[in-house]
Amino acid sequence: MREKLPISKSKEQLIKGVNPIFACIGTLEDFENSLKTAPHINDDFGLNNVQNVDWFRGHTEYEGSLGAGPGTYIISPINTFNKLSRGFYCCTGLIVAGITPDGQKISFLTHQDPHMLVPSLRDKFMSDLKQRLNDMKKRCKNGTIDAVIVGGEVNDISIENVYIDSIKLLGKEVQENLGFEPMVINGPKISMLRDTVGYDNENRRIYFIRPETTQVEHSSAEDFIPSDFPANKVDKYKNKWR
């Protein structure tokens, strides 16, 4: 059953009646045991009309993606498609969703390797991201946009510093352009294995497969909660994954 998976949600800038982005988080085995779509987990999560945001090749199946070539970054078009992106090793991703005045649910997804964002490429990425965020703001009703950050890896100090910088960068850009701080879903992972992210556009739901879920102690050794935090609090939370 889907509700057996850990559920995270972001919050508070939304008007009444508009749901935040929810996240179903688990290992591949968790999803296989919990969802009727298990045969499709590595394919499309059983969703229809899925747009593959292919970081490895640097494009989607449809025109309109922004990027700088394979293995750097890719930003999907804004549209009504469900979305899928594989291979989040040290990569981070941003999912932004909103509702147009005529009631259409639209979204875009980014997938970027923060280690590849050297100064010249970083400027291009930030320019492209700002363009997408501004387009979302223009196209959506006020109070309907939500955004979350996924992915990342911190298996040594140098990688951790790159991760922290990338989260701050994404958080600042969302804050400046959309007026709220995005939530980071489940923090970074420690392992060097990959995450897979699927997004159900109609239901504003992320399917987030990780090699292991990041957890922090809540009130006892047996009581754990997923480690979610606002992007601007990343420095405060870093001791929880060490």
pLDDT digits (tens, 9 = 90+) for 151-209: 888 887 778 888 899 999 999 999 999 999 999 988 888 877 788 899 999 999 998 88
The number of distinct structural domains making up the chain is 1
Query: Band of the pLDDT at 128, cuts 50, 70, 90?
Result: very high
Quick: pLDDT tens for 16-26.
889 999 888 87
Asked if residue 177 is part of any domain, the answer here is yes
Write out the H or E segment, with its range, that includes residue 115: none
Asked if residue 242 is part of any domain, the answer here is no
- Look up the domain containing 7 and give its range: 1-37+45-237
Query: What was the pLDDT predicted at 11?
Result: 65
Report how far residue 5's alpha carbon sits from residue 14's, in angstroms, rounded to the nearest whole number: 24
Phi and psi dihedrals of 4, rounded to 5? Answer: -75, -20
227 pLDDT higher than 60 = yes
The domain spanning residue 200 has which CATH number?
3.30.1330.200
Asked if residue 25 is part of any domain, the answer here is yes
Q: What percent of the chain has pLDDT over 70?
A: 80
Asked if residue 50 is part of any domain, the answer here is yes
Give me the chain's average pLDDT, please: 81
CB 91, CB 113: distance < 8 Å: yes
40 pLDDT higher than 90 = no
CB 182, CB 174: distance < 8 Å: yes
114 pLDDT higher than 60 = yes
Report how far residue 59's alpha carbon sits from residue 68's, in angstroms, rounded to the nearest whole number: 9
Helices (runs of H) and strands (runs of E) counted in the chain? 4, 15
Query: What was the pLDDT predicted at 77?
Result: 94
- Can you give 45-95 as a three-state secondary structure string? CCCCCEEECECCCCECCCCCCEECCCCCEEECCCECCEEEEEEECCCEEEE
Of residues 71 and 110, more confidently modeled: 110
The segment with the largest mean pLDDT, out of 102-106, 221-225, 234-238, is 102-106
Query: Band of the pLDDT at 45, cuts 50, 70, 90?
Result: low
Query: What was the pLDDT predicted at 134?
Result: 97
Query: What was the pLDDT predicted at 191?
Result: 74
Stated length of the chain? 242
What is the mean pLDDT of the segment spanning 215-234?
58
Asked if residue 178 is part of any domain, the answer here is yes
Query: Band of the pLDDT at 4, cuts 50, 70, 90?
Result: very low
Instruction: List helix spans (H) across the chain.
Output: 28-34, 119-139, 157-178, 234-237
Asked if residue 141 is part of any domain, the answer here is yes
Asked if residue 161 is part of any domain, the answer here is yes
